[in-house]
Structure formats: structure tokens, C-alpha cells
Amino acid sequence: MKQIFPDLWQTDVENPFPGLTTHAYLLTREEGNVLFYNTGHEHEIDAMATLGGVDWQLLSHQDELGKSLLRVRERYGAKLGGHALERESFAEILEPDLLFTGRQTLAGNIEVIPTPGHTPGSTCFQVKSATGKTYLFTGDTVYRNRKGQWSNGFIKGWSDRDTLVASLRMLRELQPDVVISSAFADKDGYQEMSPNDWARHVDSALQPLLTAG
């Protein structure tokens, strides 16, 4: 695992589809570690033991499902969280311990922010780190494209355009210091930024949705 901030670790890259890369991220905390997204790398799941294990695994949407959820549960007894609208998909592998239905705070300082559009149950997570930084985990709702720009996660025939627009407009009002997507096409899936930078990036991601016929 690669340490990218004092309390945040990134797993080795994976390539679930051509042109698409992903990481998972382990947030280490006194209140219990949280794994955002998912990894299929057995060696990375094993490596989490040296960092205190995993208390919670939070998925941003159903595309992150995989048999490795069972391994994380088996190894660490981690509780699983996902959106209620995608429970059936989750339950095919592992029944969630917590189903999100609205905005809420989990495990002390994990803000759960449902952001439907990419999929019905897409969810973002915002964390005020003990380091003073605010991390925003965006799943595939907004991600870094191969040009290093932030793009919306709209997939024709699968996503809901109007709902995604509303979710992005809501995210625009946040003030993260670091934004971390699940899937990405650039060299990195995260970026440090100022609040003004973030608003500008979201506006850029929104524009294709607003101008599409």
C-alpha cells in the first residue's frame, strides 16, 4: 500500500475494464479504520493488518462489488455499508450491515452523501481528517479523465442525467481539500485543491450534461 497522506493509504492499481483504473483507500483512525471502495488484491487486504485492520468498508455504488468483500469481512470482521437502492446487488455477495437512505454521519466523522445519477445508489463520503484536511470520496459520480480533468459519471442507457445534474450541483457546494474518485483514467485518482478549484471542476463536469440534446 502507498501512503498518500498521514492517515490515508492507497491500494495498488487495478484494471477492471480496458482504459479504466481503480484504487481503494484505507483511512486510519483512532475510532476504527475505514476502507473506501474495494480491492481484489489479496496482498493489499493482508497488508491492512499492519495498519490496524478494517472496521468499516464503504462502497460508493454497485460497480465496486466483488468477492473480495467476503475476504475483508472474514479477515477483519469489517461492517459493510452501501445504499438501500442497491441492496439486492450487494446481497448477492454480502448483505450490508448498514443501508444508506439519506445524508447521515457514520462512525464519528464520516459524512454519507447520497449522489444518485451514475447509478441509483451512488454515494459520496466526506471526512474531516484529524490532519485538518477534508477528504471527499466521489466514487464514479465525478472522476479524473485521461486529460487530468474531472468528468461526470454519466453512462448513456444506464445513468439518469437529471438526477446526476442535481447531485453534482449539490457536491459543488462542498469545500474539500482532497477529492478522491474510485475509477479514473489519468495517472492519479485524487487531487488536492482549493474550494474555488473544486467549484470550477464541477462546473466543467456539469457542462456536457447541461448542453446535451
Amino acid 6 reads: P
Ramachandran assignment for 132, one of left (phi > 0), alpha (psi -120 to 50 degrees), beta (any other): left
The confidence score (pLDDT) of residue 187 equals 80
HSE toward the beta carbon, residue 161, CA cutoff 13 A? 9
- Express each pLDDT in 38-67 by its tens digit: 999 999 999 999 999 999 999 999 999 999
| Total domain count, the chain | 1
The three grid cell numbers given for residue 2, joined into one nine-digit string: 502507498
* Strands, E assignment, the chain: 2-5, 8-10, 14-17, 20-22, 25-27, 34-36, 56-58, 79-83, 98-100, 104-106, 110-114, 123-128, 134-139, 142-144, 150-152, 178-181, 183-184, 190-192
CATH of the domain at 104: 3.60.15.10
Rg of the chain over all Cα atoms, to the nearest angstrom:
16
pTM as predicted:
0.96
Residues of the chain whose pLDDT is less than 50? none
The confidence score (pLDDT) of residue 196 equals 87
Closest C-alpha to 86, from 114, 127, 126, 125: 114
* Residue-range definition of the domain harbouring residue 144: 2-211
The three grid cell numbers given for residue 193, joined into one nine-digit string: 485543491
- Express each pLDDT in 176-197 by its tens digit: 999 999 988 878 889 999 888 9
